[in-house]
Structure 1
Amino acid sequence: MSQPPPPGPHHYQQQPYPGQQYAPYPPPPPKKGMSTGAVVALVLGGLFLLLLLIIVIVAAAFSGGGDTSGKPKSPPVSVSNAPDAKPADKAPVAKAPVAKSQAEQFKAFVATSGTSAEKTAAKHVTRVQGANKKNDIMDVAEIHTDYTGGLLGPHGGDGKLLATAFAEWKSSKNGLVSVYDAKGELLANGNY
Structure 2
Amino acid sequence: MDSLRDRRRAETRRAVQSHAIRLFVEGGYGATTVEDVAKAAGVSAMTVYRHFATKEDLVLYDEYDPLTAAALLARPEHEPLVRRIGGALVDTAAGAVGAGAVGASDADKALLLARLRLMISTPALRARHLDSQYATQSAIVAALCGDPPDPDDELRVRCAAAACLGATHVALVRWAENDGRDDLPALIRTSLAHAFGTAF
Between 1 and 2, higher relative CO (CA 8 Å, sep ≥ 6) is seen in 2
Larger Rg: 1
Give TM-score, length-normalised by structure 2.
0.23
Give TM-score, length-normalised by structure 1.
0.24
Higher helix share: 2
